[in-house]
Amino acid sequence: MKKHNFSAGPSILPEFTKEETAKAIIDFAGTGLSVMEVSHRGAEFQAVVDETIQLIKEILSVPEGYSVLLLQGGASLQFYMAPLNLLVKKAAYLNTGVWASKAMKEAKLVGEVIEVASSKDKNHTYVPKGYEVPADVDYFHITTNNTIYGTEMFSDPEVCVPLVADMSSDIFSRPVDISKYDLIYAGAQKNLAPAGLTLVIVKDAALGKTGRTLPTMLNYQTHIDNGTMFNTPPCVAIYAALQTLKWIKNLGGLEVIQKMNVAKAKVIYDELDRNKCFKAVVPNKEDRSLMNICFVMREGYEAVEADFLALAKQRNLIGLKGHRSVGGFRASTYNALPIESAQALVDALKEFEANH
Ligand SMILES: *Cc1c(COP(=O)(O)O)cnc(C)c1O
């Protein structure tokens, strides 16, 4: 029976990615060996790295003067590595939730951190607007999609300082103007590959300004100078990422992906706005994430919340339990989730309503 995978991360990947990676785990590029057991310096794997970087540049239209790095340590290591490489004196942060707060905590180990605005007053169910970013900060850090609360920033903030973004949960879900950013980072396990790979896109000219002596592994320049293979990279995760990138390209690129994501999310949000038992957590339509749709029981239906999880389980709707800090439910609708799964969720929401 088909499973509808709404998990927040690690999360659903294209069938193509899973099938091609499974084949390469047995026989990689005709070598008769697994992609897990060949040298990362061999010609076959070098070709995988080259094509992965080339496709990332092509799909995201990465301009000249940027480096694409395939690192480890997750977005959580980038919370520290980004300020270590870019923060000279002070940086501004937009506090849109747990991940943004964790990024700020690490940046404070490196320099002064200014919180320009926070959505904490409403448990991060909106994206702050109308804030001022001081002109003398080294960068302004945003989290484009707030995985836990289901808010998303769909336009780049208009600021006159360099932008740094954690795009872990919406990278490759829509086109981005990379030229507005000095640094973008993303853990791969939401929309690209299995866990273990971290994507970094960095503007070369932004580096080397801090005067700090950096630990070798935490210096972006180390990885740039060594073609992102200073040490052994996460080979299987990179191979899988390449398959996802091919899948995106074959579908027609990010404009097509974006349309699919808009259509999927609309089916679910429309139902939540209509259904008498459930409602979306994020009231402002312009702040509603296309990747993580958080919802709760409407007033009067709280007592039957557990019943919906039971129904979801029966209908093979997996991973719908909300993050422990928000409660309720969360349907993650990443690129690889088919619209049939969104429809299956809507059917369950309707069935539940009819029975209550
Ligand atoms: C999942 C997530 C993280 C944490 O990523 P790790 O790779 O586990 O460190 C950080 N930021 C956002 C927005 C996320 O969704």
Reduced to 3 DSSP states, what percent helix, strand and coil does the chain have, rounded to the nearest 5? 40, 20, 45
Q: Is 168 in the pocket of ligand 1 (CB under 6 A)?
A: yes
- Per-residue pLDDT of 45-86, as tens digits, reads 999 999 999 999 999 999 999 999 999 999 999 999 999 999
Reported confidence tier of residue 27, pLDDT bands at 50, 70, 90: very high
d(CA 293, CA 237): 26
Statement: residue 311 has pLDDT above 80: yes
Residues 339, 239 share a domain: no
Residue 347 Cα to ligand 1 midpoint, Å, equals: 30
Q: 139 with 283, same domain?
A: no
On the question of pLDDT at 125 being above 90, the answer is: yes
E strands in 302-354: 317-318, 329-332
Q: Please say whether the beta carbons of 116 and 92 come within 8 A.
A: yes
Please write the tens of the pLDDT for every residue from 254-301.
999 999 999 999 999 999 999 999 999 999 999 999 999 999 999 999
**Which of 186, 218, 251 marks a domain boundary?**
251
- Indicate the pLDDT class of residue 323, thresholds 50, 70 and 90: very high
End of a domain among 194, 223, 251? 251
Identified catalytic residue from 166, 170, 182, 287: 166
β-pairing verdict for 181-187 and 163-166: parallel
Q: Could you confirm whether 99 is annotated as catalytic?
A: yes
Average predicted confidence (pLDDT) for the chain: 97
Per-residue model confidence (pLDDT) at position 184: 98
Q: Could you tell me if 342 and 239 lie in one domain?
A: no
**190-216 burial by CB neighbour count: b if 16+ within 10 A, else e?**
bbbbbebbbbbbbbeebbeebeeebee
DSSP per residue, 160-200? SS-EEEE-TTTTTSS---GGGEEEEEEETTTTTSSTT-EEE
Q: Do 241 and 261 reside in the same domain of the chain?
A: no
Closest CA to 26 of 38, 16, 15: 38
The domain that holds 297 is classified in CATH as 3.90.1150.10
Q: What is the pLDDT of residue 1?
A: 73
Q: Write out 1-19 in H/E/C secondary structure.
A: CCCEECCCCCCCCCHHHHH
Report the share of the chain in percent with pLDDT over 70.
100
Sign of CA dihedral 215, 217, 219, 224: positive
pTM for this model (two decimals) = 0.98
Domain that holds residue 279: 4-12+253-355
Instruction: State the Cα–Cα distance between residues 258 and 175, nearest whole angstrom.
Output: 8
Ligand 1: does its nearest atom lie under 6 Å from the Cβ of 138? no
Asked whether residue 18 carries a pLDDT value surpassing 80, the answer given is: yes
* 190 included as an active-site residue: yes
pLDDT tens column, 100-119: 999 999 999 999 999 999 99
Query: Which residue among 138, 170, 190, 247 is the active-site one?
Result: 190
Same domain, 260 and 234: no
Same domain? 216 vs 92: yes
Kindly give the distance from the C-alpha atom of residue 169 to the centroid of ligand 1, in angstroms, as a whole number.
7
- pLDDT recorded at residue 188: 98
Are 106 and 160 members of one domain?
yes
Residue of 168, 189, 330 to test ligand 1 pocket, by largest number of atoms within 8 Å of CB: 168
Q: What is the mean pLDDT of residues 239-252?
A: 98
Q: Identify whether residues 212 and 119 lie together within a single domain.
A: yes
When pLDDT is cut at 50, 70 and 90, the band that residue 325 belongs to is confident
| Whether residue 164 is found in the same domain as residue 106 | yes
User: Which of 219, 251, 283 corresponds to the end of one domain?
Assistant: 251
Residue nearest to atom 8 of ligand 1 (CA): 74
Minimum-distance ligand 1 atom for the alpha carbon of 144: 13
The whole-number pLDDT of residue 257 equals 98
| Cα(325) to centroid(ligand 1), Å | 15
Complete DSSP assignment for 94-130: EE-SHHHHHHHHHHTTTSEEEEEEE-GGGTT-S---S
